[in-house]
């Protein structure tokens, strides 16, 4: 009996613990909706002069603020922890809304990241502080912008302009911290994977339904 208990502790428990942590702490099969319909962005121009929209894309949404150079580490953290792993996923984009006048600083950050990453799905758009504040207010979140119209937190938006997060009894999350890499790994990455899984599962179901019809 004692030998069995020892063997259980030495071999079985570590495996169980690994499977638990590998599966992530989020038990959702579908990431909860925090806001069922956020506003679309205005006709704001990106670094290359093109227009960027949220509708039809899974979006990691951020606000750079006037002090974006000082907080560029947040973008680097997000790029390395999340973007690098999943940027090949179809219909995915990382969008940062920045104040008009920060184009030069943003371009420098973009170029630096481009040295180590394929930045094709990174979109930086520029708007007036008034438009940024109006857009952020319409998100209806607890996370506020700082005096520079930025935040270290990012938001998860699905293809139908629904803001996603956690809304269970134990924890409410409407945005995700990017300042600490550990916070990205423990919360953002976990929920982000759930959201991607939703779309992968829906795609497989639609594919199977189409094959049956044929």
Looking at the predicted structure, is the pLDDT value of residue 108 above 90? yes
The mean pLDDT value for 128-138 works out to 98
Residue 147 has what pLDDT? 96
Q: What is the pLDDT of residues 152-185, one digit of tens each?
A: 999 999 999 999 999 988 899 999 999 999 999 9
State residue 6 phi and psi, 5-degree precision: -60, -45
SS3 letters across 53-72: CCCCCEEEEEEECCCCCCCH
Residues 6+ apart with CB under 8 A from 130: none
Does 192 reside within a domain? yes
Does 19 reside within a domain? no
d(CA 195, CA 33): 11
Residue 29 has what pLDDT? 75
In this structure, what CATH number is given to the domain that contains residue 157?
Answer: 3.40.30.10
Residue 2 confidence class, pLDDT cut points 50, 70, 90: low
Burial class (CB in 10 A: 0-12, 13-18, 19+), 24: middle
Q: What is the pLDDT of residues 56-103, one digit of tens each?
A: 999 999 999 999 999 999 999 999 999 999 999 989 999 999 999 999
Does 23 reside within a domain? no
**Beta bridge partner(s), residue 95:** 61, 123
Does 8 reside within a domain? no
Does 5 reside within a domain? no
Q: What pTM was estimated for this model as a whole? A: 0.83
Q: Structurally, how many domains does the chain consist of?
A: 1
Residue 9 has what pLDDT? 63
Residue 90 has what pLDDT? 87
Residue 23 has what pLDDT? 44
The mean pLDDT value for 114-123 works out to 96
Q: Which domain holds residue 148?
A: 35-213
Does 3 reside within a domain? no
Residue 45 has what pLDDT? 93
Does 29 reside within a domain? no
């Amino acid at each position: 009996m004692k030998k069995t208990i020892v063997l259980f502790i030495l071999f079985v428990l570590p495996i169980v613990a690994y499977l638990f942590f590998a599966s992530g702490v989020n038990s959702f099969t579908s990431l909860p909706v925090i806001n069922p319909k956020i506003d679309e962005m205005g006709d704001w121009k990106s670094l290359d002069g093109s227009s960027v929209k949220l509708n039809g894309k899974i979006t990691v949404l951020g606000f750079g603020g006037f002090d974006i150079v000082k907080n560029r580490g947040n973008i680097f953290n997000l790029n390395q922890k999340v973007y690098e792993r999943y940027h090949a996923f179809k219909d995915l984009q990382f969008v940062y809304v920045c104040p008009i006048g920060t184009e030069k600083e943003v371009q420098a950050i973009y170029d630096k990241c481009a040295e180590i990453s394929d930045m094709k799905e990174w979109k930086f758009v520029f708007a007036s502080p008034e438009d940024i504040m109006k857009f952020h207010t319409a998100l209806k979140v607890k996370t506020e912008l700082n005096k520079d119209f930025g935040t270290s937190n990012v938001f998860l938006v699905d293809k139908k302009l629904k803001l996603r997060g956690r809304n269970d009894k134990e924890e409410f999350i409407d945005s995700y911290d990017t300042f600490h890499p550990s916070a990205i790994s423990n919360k953002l990455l976990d929920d982000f994977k759930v959201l991607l899984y939703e779309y992968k599962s829906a795609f497989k179901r639609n594919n199977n339904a189409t094959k049956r019809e044929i």
